Every structure is written in C-alpha cells, then in structure tokens.
Amino acid sequence: MKKTFEGKVALVTGAGSGIGQAAAFAYAVNGAKVIVSDIKDNDTVAKIVADGGEAYFVKTDVSKAEECEQLVKKTIEKYGKIDIAFNNAGILGETNNLAEMSNDGFEKVIAVNLNGVFYCMKYEISAMLKQGSGVIVNTASILGTVGFSAFSGYVAAKHGVVGLTQTAALEYSSKGIRINCVAPGFINTPLLSTLNVKSKEELSLKHPIGRLGEAKEVASLVIWLSSEEASYATGGYYPIDGGYLTS
C-alpha cells in the first residue's frame, strides 16, 4: 500500500523535541524523506532511521535569515525539492508583565517565533514557486487570537504568525501553494518544562477537556493539513486546544 507522503520531502523546524519531533516522526512513518532542523543536535534523525525511515539533520537558528535560506538550499541539495514545510520552531521567552519586560527578552521571542516563520516562508515559497506546488503549515497558538498575562512577546509573535499565514495564503494559493497554521493549546512538551506541577494542573483546568494536550495529537492535525485530504484547506487557523478558546 502506498504511504501518504511516499516520494515527498518534508522540512520540519524545531524538530528536536515536542510537536516538531512528533511531526517529523509522523511524516517519516507516512513515507516522507524528512529534513530535521533545530538549533542543536538531537536524536530525531537516529530514531527515524532506526524505524526504517529516511531523514537528514540541518542545524538552523531560524532567527537568522541567512540560516533559513541555507536550510532551504540544503534541503534542495539533499533531496532535490521541498514538498512540505512545517515551520514549528519557537520559544516561550521571558515571562513578565509588559512594563517589566526587558527589551532583549521581547526582541528574542519575536526574532524566533515571528521573524523565523517569515524567513522560512520567504525561502520555502521561493523554492515551491519553481516547482509549482507545495504545502506550508505554521505553528501559531491559541495565543494567536487571545491574550495571556506575562507573555506579551509570545502573544504578539503568535498573532503575527496568524497574520503572516493568512496573507501568504492570499498571495500564493492560486499558485499551487497551500498555507495554514495550527493553534495548539498548552501541550505537554519540553516548552513547559519550567513549570511546576501546580502550575501545570492550573493550566490543565483552563481546558474543558481537563488535561494538557500531547505532541502527537497536534502532529496528527499537521499531517492532515499537509496531505491531499486537506486539498481545499488554505489560509486557515486550526485550534487544537481541548476547548480552551470556547471556555
């Protein structure tokens, strides 16, 4: 039986852990050759290869435009094309009320979470236009539409990701490139590793479903949006949040 992404090449940023790693595994299981990108070495490629898949690591700091450009170039050099891009790299950044937020702290989270998505999309779209097709999925957040105290940089960045996604979809959907974003609620990943048990319990209660999400649950949505089953989906904002936004 032919696998969903057989013959396809998928690029995943922030693939060293959490949602990015879960998505990289899912692309590989479904037959894609996967470019694993992260700011530091990790075991994602080794795990994919051990499971019979194909993957290649490219170290990338997405806050730097030149590294995002090289990421796309190395993908093309390695596999000849880029069919799917999941722009997922992100950080929580400094947590402080706005007046106490350091300038450096605010700028860092914007650089990674917003500028990084812009830079990656810029070079991914350029490559996809030459092919005449492609799919891009960006990681936004439930905080891409609502606020959250002490996270002004993160909230601002994720609102920006939603806007970038919608605008790019308007510009390129007629050229064979579908672009959407997923909006996870609070997911049980290393991104929340700084929180204590009580804080995690309090976050869980903000979700009507009664728990934090799991990375593989978000990856399942990403995989659907990347597939031909979602061929009419573009410019969308897809919450996967255990009911957070409806509460």
pTM score over 0.75: yes
Residue 85: per-residue pLDDT: 99
Residue 199: per-residue pLDDT: 86
Residue 148: per-residue pLDDT: 95
**154 catalytic residue (yes or no):** yes
Residue 123: per-residue pLDDT: 98
Residue 2: per-residue pLDDT: 76
- The pair of structure tokens assigned to 41 is 């070495």
- Give the active site residue among 27, 154, 172, 238: 154
Per-residue confidence in pLDDT tens, the chain, 247 aa: 679 999 999 999 999 999 999 999 999 999 999 999 999 999 999 999 999 999 999 999 999 999 999 999 999 999 999 999 999 999 999 999 999 999 999 999 999 999 999 999 999 999 999 999 999 999 999 999 999 999 999 999 999 999 999 999 999 999 999 999 999 999 999 888 777 888 889 999 999 999 999 999 999 999 999 999 999 999 999 999 999 999 8
Domains within the chain, CATH numbers bracketed: 9-241 (3.40.50.720)
